[in-house]
Amino acid sequence: MTAHPTTPLPASLNWSIEPGRLPYGAALEAMAARVAAIRNGTAEEAVWLVEHEPTYTAGTSARPEDLLETRFPAVAAGRGGQWTYHGPGQRTGYVMLDLTRDHGTVRARDVRDYVRGLEEWLIRALDRFNIRGERREGRIGIWVADRARGTEEKIGAIGVRVTRWVSWHGVALNVDPDLSHFAGIVPCGIPDHGVTSLHRLGVLATMEEADSALMAAWHEVFG
């Protein structure tokens, strides 16, 4: 894992960017090991930015009928939520924190507040590209509304797992993925709304620019 060279972060937090594309199974193994080490006091908290090979991942609430095709591997993720796609052009942020203590605006031992913090993190990162990301009651993730057409599409997904008050999994931000790949699932179990990306919205940001936005927004939410 390669550390980001700019924007200082708290000494107790390890911020890293994985080069290349990582198989999803390898990320699960690495996260499980890191979470155990954080819990045992032998590793720092971490935010790990990853780009995956094309994969469909199933959360604990995923319904088999929502996997519509099998052109890509389908993996049980162990996180909350339903089906999600990960692939090239999407930045996945794995967040491994000790939730027994406060983190900026996020209160200790409050999973709901932690999820809201992840939402706010994505919203503030998108704001740096003049994109208004929004929450929707009863729908996990971050949405972008086209009020002229009366439509809205998901640009960021959220799925978490907490083991003995240490978090893992996290967020996925669509920078420039192949949006047709989402057709193989019902994303997050919601058939009535599509997905979008920075590039589809006309923001031709690089992955590095997306990473910088995520890093800057982190401070505002998690301290």
Catalytic residues: 188
- The sheet carrying 83-86 orders its strands as 74-76, 55-58, 83-86
- Contacts of residue 11, Cβ cutoff 8 Å, sequence gap at least 6: none
- With contact defined as beta carbons under 8 Å apart, do 198 and 210 qualify? yes
Distance CA(28)–CA(41), nearest Å, equals: 20
Cα-Cα-Cα-Cα torsion 198, 202, 208, 213, nearest 10 degrees, comes to: -60
**Cα→Cα distances 6→14, 22, 90, 124, 131, Å:** 13, 23, 21, 18, 23
